[in-house]
Structure 1
Amino acid sequence: MKRFVIGIFLVLNGVAAQADLKVFATVPEWGALAKEIGGDKVKLYTATTAFQDPHRIEAKPSLLAQARQANLVVAAGADLEIGWLPLVLRDSGNPAIQPGRPGYFEAAALVNRLDVPAVVDRAHGDVHAAGNPHTHLDPRNVLKVGEKLAARMAELDAANAAAYQAGYTAFAGKWQAAMARWEKEAAPLKGMAVLVHHQSFVYLSNWLGLKEVGALEPKPAIEPTSGQLTGLLARQQTTPARMVLRAAYQQDGPSLWIAGKAGIPAVLLPYTVGGTPEAKDLFGLFDDTVQRLLKAGR
């Protein structure tokens, strides 16, 4: 009888352990959002870090192993992961996380996307047919995605549905208060002209009213050339930028060169969770981003 009771305990304990929602997030920001919503109900694996270009990831066996075990894949979408995620999904052998199934979730599909091209032509660089995929840098998008993500998590793990809804409600309340604070603090940035390394910050600029007057890349995902940088420097005479922005995963050489020549700050922004020591979570990401912009804009 004692062995039977122990056996039942181990089985139940195993079921409880398996009840955790296993989330495979392609990028840190959406992994952080899933954790905000699910807390200890979520077992999170994030496929990339803030110091990796999410466009260029190798579909390694370690990613396949994690995807094979996942209940839910949370992707940025809009072709951000087009070079590697389809391979990971296909070769994982996990039918539950394939596109079109409840276990596959794309953030970009839930928001209004910017920079949707009229014509897709790879001669223009790494153009995303569905629009700019860096949607998380407008915190209003984070709120929209969070609502739908909580519902999807509840659908996949009905036993913890109430916990996911409560997690999202608590997060949304704190997030709305933080957005109001960020917008008030960032008011001096409105209309400020900036250069960017890559068009990573379109949604951030749209939210804060920054004016992007040039990119160091001559075409999306084409490394900055001397001709492009020289041309941007010449344009400083007529269309001066106040700073040049780059993400944590981008090389600092081009932005430091043009900043030095133009006499403007080169600003490293975290871009995603973990991009700077201060950007430990989603709140820290925007706290640090706003403060770095304000410091450079003084």
Structure 2
Amino acid sequence: MDFKQHITGVILGLAMMPAQAALNVFACEPEWADLVRALVPNADIHTATAARQDPHYIEARPSLIAAMRRADLAVCTGASLEAGWLPALISRASNRDIQPGKPGLFFATEQVTLHQPHDHVDRSMGDVHPEGDPHVHLDPQRVPEIVDALADRLIELAPDHSNMIRLRQLQWQVRWKLSTAQWQEAAANLKGMPIAVQHATFGYLLRWLGVDAAIDLEPKPGLPPSAAHLRKVLSDPSLQTAKLVLIATYQDERPARWLSEQTGLPVEVLPGTVTDEAGTDSLANLISHIIERLQQYQEESPPEVGSHG
């Protein structure tokens, strides 16, 4: 059987699957809602955060408590990303199936090895996650591992869905491999591209692309850029070759805009997660969009750095 025949069989198999009761899924961030939907398209999914919200800091409001209480599965990032609100939400929801150590609570970061884990963390280091950088959802290499683990967990909770989930898992993996090959080809000219960032939201993808994000507007992880730190950034020789300042939609644009005024560097504001808008409405589309935007700047010459006064 050739590749096309195999995929055709997968699609026909999906079409023949009987309708089954929908799973209730609580997704802490939109990226996990997207992956759950790819595996269980008829799932009833409630997403706690959106692209314009900082996932580190949200309120455990009554609607979230109610959604957590009726969920069969909660899919979250973990690695302390939601430490400020998820424990309280779990406690107030009192869902006995969604508790630490229970199958109903799935942490994506526990399925992969994280970048930059720390043996020792204290407040002087800023908002550092001891487990490592939790923003794994933009890593083309780690996401497939998470999807495989998520499929296993969904089947554990809903064995009647196993055939459908396995077929969807295969479909997703094939699409992702094709996309990854396209990303590698499209991003070949991005290797070594110098940029400035604010926080590690895009860190995994930038490392995979070979983009040099040596300049960070944050003095320490999670701390807002101070005027003193921005002046220090302004005197950094690396800024002379930077192509742009990249920030996420949920971040305060003012520090990046100030730096832009001083240097002429363009500011690119991109969603750090899946949105409801065309072009960024799935994890694969989001990565494609980020790469396309970065490519626009690689074709341009860096501006001359203006006065530091």
Compute the TM-score of the two structures, normalised by the length of structure 2. 0.87
Q: Distance in 2 between matches of 1:238 and 1:245?
A: 13
- Kindly report which structure 2 residues correspond to 1:131-146, keeping only aligned pairs within 5 A, or say none: 131-146=132-147
In 1, the alpha carbon distance for the partners of 2:239 and 2:77 equals 37
Structure 2 CA distance for partners of 1:116 and 1:50, relative to 1, 3 Å: same
Q: Name the structure 1 match of 2:303.
A: none
| Residues 94-153 of structure 1 deviation map (CA, whole Å, 9 limit, x = unaligned) | 010111011010000111211212420111111111111101111221111001101110
Task: Provide the rounded CA distance (Å) in 1 between the counterparts of 2:267 and 2:76.
Answer: 30
Aligned twin of 1:12: none
For 1:230, the equivalent position in structure 2 comes to 231
**How big is the shift at 1:283?**
2.0
| SS state at 2:46 partner | strand
* Partners of 1:267 and 1:296 within 8 A in 2: no
Matching residue of 1:19: 21
Deviations 1:75-94 (A, max 9, x none): 10100000000111111110
* 8 Å Cα contact 1:50-1:275 kept in structure 2: no
- Name the structure 2 match of 1:8: none
2:121 matched residue in structure 1 = 120
Look up the match of 2:252: 251
Return the alpha-carbon distance in structure 2 between the equivalents of residues 297 and 194 of structure 1. Answer: 10
Structure 1 residue 217 corresponds to structure 2 residue 235: no
RMSD (Å), alpha carbons: 1.7
**Residue identity matched to 1:31:** A
Aligned-partner residue type, residue 280 of structure 1? D
* 1:203-238 alpha-carbon deviations (Å, 9 max, x no partner): 112111111112111111111111111111111467
Counterpart in the other structure of 2:88: 87
Change (3 A) 1:259 1:275: farther
**Pair 1:284-2:281 in alignment:** no
- The answer on whether the counterparts of 2:215 and 2:239 sit within 8 Å (CA) in structure 1 is no
Contact 1:39–1:167, Cα closer than 8 Å, also in 2: no
Name the CA distance, whole Å, in 2 between partners of 1:226 and 1:170: 49
The CA distance in 2 between the partners of 1:289 and 1:110, in whole Å, is 25
CA contact (8 A) 1:154 1:161 kept: yes
Greater helix percent: which structure?
A: 1
Give the gaps of 5 or more residues in structure 2.
Answer: 1-17, 300-309
Distance change in 2, residues 1:146/1:206 (3 Å): same
Question: Judging changes above 3 Å, is the alpha-carbon distance between structure 1 residues 265 and 166 closer, same or farther for their aligned structure 2 residues?
Answer: same
Answer whether contact 1:114 1:202 (CA < 8 A) is retained: no
Take 1:133 and 1:51, find their aligned partners in 2: how far apart are those partners? Answer: 18
Instruction: Please state whether the residue corresponding to 1:139 is helix, strand or coil.
Output: coil
Structure 1 unaligned residues grouped into runs of 5+? 1-15
* Distance in 1 of aligned mates of 2:282 and 2:248: 16
Is the CA contact (8 Å cut-off) linking 1:24 and 1:45 kept in structure 2?
yes
Q: CA deviation at 1:17?
A: 9.5
- Partner SS, residue 123 of structure 1: helix
Q: Partners in 1 of 2:157 and 2:284 — Cα distance?
A: 27
Aligned partner letter, 1:242: K
AA paired with 2:147? G
Corresponding position of 2:262: 261
Aligned match of 1:196: 197
| Distance across 2 between alignment mates of 1:151 and 1:18 | 18
Runs of 4+ aligned structure 1 residues displaced above 6 Å come to none
- Deviation sequence 1:231-263 (CA, Å, 0-9, x none): 111114676322111011111111122123222
Report if aligned partners of 1:236, 1:262 keep a CA contact under 8 Å in 2. Answer: no
How many residues of Structure 1 are paired with residues of Structure 2 in the alignment?
282
